[in-house]
Homo-oligomer: A and B are copies of this chain.
Amino acid sequence: MNKVFTLLVFAGVPVSVIGSLLHWPSVIMFVIYCVTIIALAAFMGRATESLAVVSGPRIGGLLNATFGNAVELIISIFALKAGLIGVVLASLTGSVLGNLLLVAGLSFFVGGVKFKRQKFNVFDARHNSGLLMFAIIVAFVIPEVFSMDMNEGRTMSLSIGISIILILLYLFALFFKLVTHRGVYQSENSEGAHEHDEEPEWSKGKALLILALSTVAVAYVSERLVHTFEEVGEAFGWSELFIGVIIVAIVGNAAEHASAVIMAYKNKMDIAVEIAVGSTLQVAMFVAPVLVLVSLFFEKSMSLVFTLPELVAMVSAVLLTVIISNDGETNWFEGLTLLAAYVIMGIGFYLL
């Protein structure tokens, strides 16, 4: 399997470059780009896993989330520059839904088919639940409702204020996790989870190099991919909203997918959950507010006001995830429930 992906990477990247330069048909390029990104994501997954073995579950998960979302941040900045605010908000929504429902759902399901009951640190689960509630139910809902009675200028002021608070709280959350409360909330079974005897596939240096190169490649290919969307949408009858929320999110989060599911299959649920939920939090508390602030330097600035279907979908997803994951335990059916919610929202955005 690994060999197939290696082949796909070494074939996909040059073919992507060549096809892009020669202006091959969009639908063909769309498929090539997607396959290449997924192969690259598998590579990133292996590199992250090697690093995770060396650095422990938390840093490993954090690394993963960072490398997954760097791509997203870069693409979104390009889109903002082009004034595509609706697409950016849609892809942020898609990232939240994709990570919470699709990535976590697939991880719980695949892991749960192999293991009857899988556990992860219940303190981390609760910490994450609190932040999900804060980011989505407070920081995203408030501007939606309050902006109804506000003019554009005040809506933007509110968005800027909330963005700054989100970024600050995100930094404090890192400080809390890595400094003041590092190791304070260890679950009983996490001792065994460290498995210091396990050998990493790649050395730290090699893994970091591969991660860096893959990220650059993913960024390049993703950027090309975005430009095929309009024609692909026309060809398949997909709306911009559907492409933003579902397609961009699935392809854009392929890296998280690959590694979270692999971790769940190896029963390392702490890492799988850290990737899925941690990535969501990074999108909601870091990527989204940074984009709001960055947009101030562009012609059209972006407020933190989603469409009502986007917001309601995120709120539902958060409430469902919190209830399902708050006990620090999963099984295949909980995974299936999250996946079913994702499919429902997918149908909804497709028909919208």
Contacts and interface: CB of A to CB of B under 8 A. Distances in A.
Interface of A: 116-117, 126-127, 129-131, 133-134, 137-139, 141-143, 145-146, 148-150, 154, 157-158, 161-162, 165, 168-169, 172-173, 176, 180-181, 184, 308-309, 312-313, 316-317, 319-320, 322-324, 326-327, 331-334, 336-337, 340-341, 343-345, 347-348, 351-352
A150 B352 contact: yes
B169 A337 contact: yes
Contacts of A131: 337
Given A134-B340, A344-B138, A176 B332 contact: yes
A133 B172 contact: no
A331 B169 contact: no
A324 B150 CA distance: 30
A259 B340 CA distance: 32
A59 to B, nearest CB: 18
A343 B184 CA distance: 28
Given A145-B308, A154-B351, A333 B176 contact: yes
Contacts of A352: 146, 149-150, 154
Contact of A165 (B154, B173, B176, B340): B340
A134 B337 contact: yes
B336 A142 contact: no
A169 B127 CA distance: 29
Contacts of A133: 319-320, 323-324
Given A131-B337, A142-B312, A150-B351, 8 more contacts: A130-B334, A133-B324, A139-B341, A145-B309, A146-B309, A154-B351, A157-B347, A158-B348
B347 A161 contact: yes
Contacts of A176: 331-333
8 contacts: A126-B327, A139-B341, A141-B316, A142-B345, A142-B348, A150-B351, A154-B352, A169-B337
Among A126, A127, A134, A332, max chain B CB count under 10 A is at A134
A336 B172 CA distance: 9
Contacts of A323: 126, 129-130, 133, 322, 326
The quantity of this chain's copies bound in the complex is 3
A161 B331 contact: no
Contact of A320 (B137, B162, B345): B137
B141 A312 contact: yes
Given A145-B308, A176-B332, A344-B165, A320 B117 contact: no
A337 B154 CA distance: 24
B348 A143 contact: yes
A263 to B, nearest CB: 22
Contacts of A138: 316-317, 320, 341, 344-345
A31 to B, nearest CB: 26
A144 to B, nearest CB: 9
Contacts of A341: 134, 138-139
Contacts of A345: 138, 142
